[in-house]
Structure 1
Amino acid sequence: MSRTIGNQKREQEPEYLYPHARTLEPGQGLRDLPMPPVQSAFACLRLAKDYFLKVYSPGYAAHADLIIVNAGLYWLLLECKNVTTDPDEKADYTEQATMCRANLETVLSSLPFHLPSTMDTTYAMTLAATYCLDVCKTSAAWNFIATASHMSQTLGMHSIVTMINDDPEVKREKLKLFWLIYVHEKALSLRLGRSSTIRDNEITVPPMAINSRSEQAIFGQLQKWTELARLQGMVYDQIYSPAALIQPQSVRVAKARRLASELGAHTTKVSPEDVSDFASNAPASRLFKVRVDPTTLQKRYIQAMKGAVGELFYEAFVSTQRLTHLSLFCLIYRAIPAEQGEGTVFGKECIATARQALEEHQKCMAIIHDLDEDFLETYVNWALLQSPFVPFTVLFCHVIETCNEADLQRLGGLIGSLQSLLADDFSTGVKKEIRLFQVLYDVACSYIKMKTNESPQTLDSSANVWATAAATSLMTPSSVHQNTALTGQGLGTQDGPQTEFPSTEESQVCLDAAFDGQNIGSSWMSGGSFTMPGDLGMEVDQQGTQLGNWLYMNNQMIRALEDSYF
């Protein structure tokens, strides 16, 4: 990959990681950064005035205070921009929000190595992680949330014994912050293929109870998010961790079935025992058809949420949540191999769930079509990037295996719906994600065209095709080499632009070179040798090999979106 794009630098440039950060002139410090007018700041938020006074008053301001104030003002000013109808006010709010964003990135790029483990710093690291997720900086988000996790445990937020003498209000704030960190950290760990920094068996604090209606709309689903985060941690530990991959296939499959049952219970509020009799044989679509009357708390949450954000935003939120569940279902079912004779690497539950996920995406896009473009960008980040590329990747590989044109149309529908709402001011990460989807779709179209025409250059294995696709997707248009062995001019796609791509051999070499010389290109789906870290001599069966390589490549694709050369 690096060889193809002509960039041998492994580290990320600071100006790419924080493109809006200002260059401080000699003699300038963080205290010299411009701030929005005091009137605008207090008009947006009258609460948390202590934080604002620390920043707006002369004298020292901690890094945590600067992060909290600038991040808070940035999001609040964007919300003010969304609700006002006056064009001049919109422009003013946008200008002030841009200033706060630049300040935030400048502070984040100037953080010292050592930070005090305080509530304010923990809160600031959580906000920094949330911002990095919003702009598709996944690795940076994980670094911040991991720091927040370590600080929260240092402060004893996970231990009921440590907080036994705390004031009730302080204890409540600690619980709220800890469970928010827990939700973000578990999701990011799974997304990047890393072990969680929070051990579930060391947590002794109870779930957070919601007392007031004002908190209902914001934290009404926190307990359910916590349950989902716990399942995300279990998916990695029991299916995709190195320790899980060396287990016999039958053990992994049994654990995957159990996790699918628990996730089905989570989505429907039915006990795992009630759904286990059919979850092992049914795709996620059947689980979502179970109807359960919502509890009183759920009804209160729905009413509060609709009152806070409106009917349309609530529907979009619910649809996004369903898509997140389906992505996790798909990742779980990926661990269950196809039955003999099915002629595909993926089991029927995995394929069915991937199809339903793309259909759910279309429903959500229809809902948010008329909403503000800021919400669409958030949707792409949290619904399509929060989980690995599971549904899209599954269907892409399935199309390559089977030349299924209906699934190809599903992929094209997702891309078309995203491109129709793509705005110029979207983050670079979102644009890269959509471009990656487009390139993979182009490759699938080209491959089907070759198969249909029975070209002598038809690729003879899914591994080689994937190597071509992955290498192509990570190249800039100017660096893609023309492959005269295929068409001489590049292959056209169905209802899409032409995408030229290199030869199979070149692509495989590029992938192998990119990933430290490992035979990733040839072992993507063919079940090549999978070496455990450190060459510990642990034997991995063929299905475990395929699973490990498949998740590894997914994670490398996610991380590639953060690199400045993509």
Structure 2
Amino acid sequence: MERVDVLEKRLGEVENKRLVEAEDPQPRGADYRTTLESPMGGLRADVVPSMAEPTAGTSPYQGHSSFDDLSIQAAEFAKQATDIERHQDGPDVETTLDTLRLALRDTKSTPSTADYEFNRVQATSHGSIILPLPANLIIAILQHIKKQHPVFLSSYAINDPALVEDLSRQVYFPTNAVTIGHITALHAVLYFLLREHITLSTALCKDYDLKPLLDKCEQNVNSGLETYDVFAVPSFENLLALTMGMIKAQEETKPLLCTTFISAAASQCQRLGYHREITYRNDQTGRREHMRRLFWTVYVFDKNMSLLQGHSSHMQDFEIDAKYPALSPIVGVRPWDESFIVAIKLARIQGQIYNNLYSTMAIKSSSPDREQHINTLQANMHEVRAEFQQIDPSLVNHRQIFVLSRKHWDVMYYSTLTSLLRGSLMTGSVARISTQCFHAARLCLQSHMQCFSGYLDSGFLEDKDYANWVLHCSSFSSFVVIFLHAVAGSRMDDVELLDDMVGILHKCQASSKTSERLFQVCGTFAKLARQLVEARNSCVGTYSRQQDSLQLDIGVHRSEAMAGETM
């Protein structure tokens, strides 16, 4: 606490100085645009170049493992079924198919500039000048994290309150020039800590009006993350800023922006050598564990996004020999660290699923080779799940949130398992969906419903939190798999499961454009499934009721999906 007391004294001096200098916030030196020369200095954020609108007709690529790719194929299979038994289906089915075509076309629409940048907060009275937050607020935050380990510091990226204190000292009392990376990284960490105080309605909310301070902090973060230096210059602080930006983009349901940060962060990890254990052995900065946690956080996001969007990951396992993050000796923190390591192991499997089953080379591989990969990876997934179930949450900090995170993990596990099993025996022209895949998909949707209920029952999380951190962090291919099973097997229980899931999507649709599009696509699939099942139209592929498996001819439609067509 002595270090915090010293910082409090110095920040008090800064606050007094600030009152005198507040009338002249303009830059006063040549380096003012890239450094914070004093605690009272300002940073010009108007150096950010404007972004050009994406070229018309250029939609983001979505590969074989993506929800979009499977949705397009499933819609074509449904169209085939109606063509075969058109006389039984009637005009309602045709209308629903047309609606589905439009919904899928919307998912392939050209993104706007807004998809690649953060939501804008209202500008402060200082315009583009970035100024420090009130000194007493910084002190209050540092004192709070010393007394009680916050949820945010139990997360993947950082877990040490001393790092927050060090960043505060470097930015507010620099002995060397402070880069935009330092400033952005600190404000990003403070942004998430303030968000946690507001979400949990802590005592700090009674002492300060946190909302305008949060907006000011967010403006600082957004401005810093839009500078060239943060993206281009490899450093610990820039990597921390990019990692925070990656998390913030996920929080705002900006998958394209999140992918941009992942790419930049992965590149910096490699140039800094964070993927190699020798880097940590030779480290002289005292930040070895902080570096390690940043690297593995980027790794987890990279592998997950790779499988979700259907492209190879930036980090390849054959180049990595860095050890996992150390487990905390604190009994209340250790379960969080154990969960982090399990998440890393699941992410590694996600990367292997894409490489061995969905990559361009994997699609051309023989059925025996693919089957061997699936069996091996399925066994690995069972081991990871067993390890996760052995984590003891009885003494964990923030127990309610930790228990809720376990429901989230169930969704991640079963959605990944569905992606693994639906690649079973896939060749260039045929795909077979097994009873195991159908079972995993069903468990995935059921886990979604349990997780959603947990979020609402928590008392402090909302629909948008579930949408941002559960719905859009996991593959929703399970929904399409159950749609195919419902139609092929004429299963009304599957239709009801789809309807229940659509009910959740309906509640989340207002959270973002991505959520709205997902609701439109899945709602139309569910409506179509009910119409086809009620019409007893089961002409989707070749369904074996005895084995509960479905064989689909995908040769022609896969090439269409690759070309980005929507029927």
Q: Same fold (TM over 0.5)?
A: yes
Report the 3-state secondary structure (helix = DSSP H, G, I; strand = E; otherwise coil) of the residue aligned with 1:220. helix
Trace 1:315-326 onto structure 2 (pairs within 5 A): 315-326=403-414
Partner residue of 2:198? Answer: 81
1:529 aligns with 2:556: yes
Q: Given the superposition, is the C-alpha separation of residues 418 and 100 from structure 1 closer, same or farther in structure 2, using an over 3 Å criterion? A: farther
Q: 2:418 aligns with which of 302, 326, 330?
A: 330
Question: Which residue is 1:389 aligned to?
Answer: 476
Q: Residues 42 and 223 from structure 1, CA distance in 2 versus in 1: closer, same or farther, beyond 3 angstroms?
A: same
Residues 34 and 406 of structure 1: is their aligned pair in 2 closer, same or farther, counting only changes over 3 Å?
A: farther
Of residues 221, 236, 245 in structure 2, which corresponds to 1:128? 245
1:63 to 180, 191, 196: 180
Match of 1:261 in 2: 379
Q: State the Cα deviation string for residues 64-104 of structure 1 (Å, max 9, x = none).
A: 23432332222211211123278974993334333433443
Cα distance change on mapping 1:44 and 1:20 into 2, 3 Å: same
- One-letter code aligned to 1:406: D
What residue is the counterpart of 1:222 in the other structure?
340
Letter in 2 for 1:21: R
What is the DSSP-based 3-state SS (H/G/I as helix, E as strand, rest coil) of the residue aligned with 2:280?
coil
Q: Is the 8 A contact 2:121 2:218 kept in 1?
A: no
For structure 2, the residue ranges without an aligned partner over 5 or more in a row are: 1-55, 58-100, 144-160, 543-550
- CA-atom RMSD in angstroms: 4.1
Q: Report what 2:466 is aligned to.
A: 379
Change (3 A) 1:304 1:196: farther
Alignment deviations for residues 12-46 of structure 1 (CA, whole Å, 9 cap, x no partner): 43345335336989x9874x146654433432345
Q: How does 1:160-559 map to 2 (within 5 A)?
A: 160-167=277-284, 169-213=286-330, 215-269=333-387, 294=390, 298-299=391-392, 302-305=393-396, 308-310=397-399, 312-337=400-425, 345-372=432-459, 374=461, 376-420=463-507, 422=508, 426-449=511-534, 451=535, 526-529=553-556
Native 8 Å contact 1:135 1:429 kept in 2: no
Secondary structure of the 2:473 match is coil
* 1:436/1:76 CA distance change after superposition, 3 Å: farther
User: Which residue of the partner structure matches residue 270 of structure 2?
Assistant: 153
Whole-angstrom CA distance in 2 between matches of 1:404 and 1:433: 23
Provide the rounded CA distance (Å) in 2 between the counterparts of 1:87 and 1:80.
Answer: 7
User: What CA distance in whole angstroms lies between the structure 1 residues aligned with 2:122 and 2:460?
Assistant: 29
From the superposition, tell whether residues 29 and 112 of structure 1 become closer, same or farther in structure 2 (CA, over 3 Å): farther
| Distance in 2 (alpha carbons) for counterparts of 1:396 and 1:388 | 15
Give the structure 1 partner of residue 167 of structure 2: 51
Query: Contact 2:506–2:519 at 8 Å: present in 1 too?
Result: yes
Deviations 1:326-366 (A, max 9, x none): 1111111102259xxxx995211111111111122222233
Once residues 251 and 154 of structure 1 are traced to their aligned partners in structure 2, the CA distance between those partners, rounded to angstroms, is: 35
Tell me the CA shift for residue 127 of structure 1: 1.2
* Percent of aligned pairs with the same amino acid: 20
Determine if contact 1:344/1:398 at 8 Å carries over to the other structure.
Answer: no
Whether the 8 Å CA contact 1:44–1:80 is kept in 2: the answer is no
Post-superposition CA distance 1:280-309 (Å, at most 9, x none): xxxxxxxx9xxx8x3xxx33xx2453xx21
> In 2, distance between residues paired with 1:91 and 1:372?
22
Go from structure 1 to structure 2 and tell me whether the alpha carbon gap of 1:225 and 1:167 turns closer, same or farther (over 3 Å shift). same
Question: What one-letter code is carried by the residue in structure 2 that aligns with 1:380?
Answer: A
Partner in structure 2 of residue 467 of structure 1: none
Q: Secondary structure at the match of 1:20?
A: coil
Q: Tell me the amino acid that sits aligned with residue 367 of structure 2.
A: Q
Residues in 1 aligned to 2:207 and 2:487: alpha-carbon distance in whole angstroms: 47
Whether 2:120 is the aligned partner of 1:21: answer yes
Q: Tell me the distance in 2 between the aligned counterparts of 1:335 and 1:351.
A: 12
Quote the offset at 1:156 in angstroms.
Answer: 1.4
Give 1:375 deviation, angstroms: 5.7
Q: CA offset at residue 324 of structure 1?
A: 0.8
- Structure 1 portions without partners, runs of 5+: 270-287, 453-457, 464-523, 531-544, 558-566
Q: Which residue of 2 aligns with 1:474?
A: none
The separation in 2 between residues aligned to 1:89 and 1:224, in whole angstroms, is 38
How far, CA to CA, are the matches of 1:375 and 1:220 in structure 2?
27
C-alpha distance in 2, partners of 1:216/1:149? 26
User: Structure 1 residue 252: deviation in Å?
Assistant: 0.9
Which aligned runs of 4 or more in structure 1 are off by greater than 6 angstroms?
Answer: 1-10, 57-60, 85-88
* CA distance 1:433–1:52, shift in 2 (3 Å): farther
| CA displacement, residues 97-152 of structure 1 (integer Å, 9 cap, x when unaligned) | 33433443343344459621111111111111111112222222122122212211
The DSSP-based 3-state class of the residue aligned with 1:210 is: coil
Question: Could you say which structure has the greater relative contact order, defined with CA pairs below 8 angstroms and 6 or more residues apart?
Answer: 2
Contact between 2:486 and 2:494, CA under 8 Å: does it hold in 1?
yes
- TM-score normalised according to structure 1 size: 0.66
Partner AA of 1:313 in structure 2: I
Distance in 1 (alpha carbons) for counterparts of 2:322 and 2:139: 36
SS of structure 1 residue aligned to 2:283: coil
Cα deviations by residue, 1:173-217 (Å, 9 ceiling, x for unpaired): 222222222222111112121212222122222222214316425
